[in-house]
Amino acid sequence: MAQNLYAVPIEGATFQNFCGGNLGGEHESCIDLAAIPGVEDGFVLRDTKPEGAGHELRATTAEMDDFVLGYAKMRGLSLS
């Protein structure tokens, strides 16, 4: 059975900030991404908008890869 990523604490996670426009403030339209400390195969994504505060999504490497590749294909983007 896969590890419950939502049961793992994320204290000490180092987040990278991906921003796209910042229409409402310094970090209004960003997504934060970090590997979950102590977990070989886990990531956490956070929304930086005030309405998204405290909400997060956790995913495995395979889930992240599937999402990123699918999103790039849907948008006609190339990965290099």
Question: Half-sphere exposure of residue 37, counting CA atoms within 13 Å on the CB side?
Answer: 7
pLDDT level of residue 3 (50, 70, 90 thresholds): confident
d(CA 5, CA 7): 5
Backbone angles phi and psi of 25, in degrees to 5: 160, -175
What's the pLDDT tens digit per position in 6-24? 999 999 999 998 887 666 5
pLDDT for the residue numbered 21: 65
Give tens-digit pLDDT for 28-49. 678 899 999 999 999 999 988 8
- Token pair 């426009």 is found at 21
Q: Per residue in 64-76, pLDDT tens?
A: 999 999 999 999 9
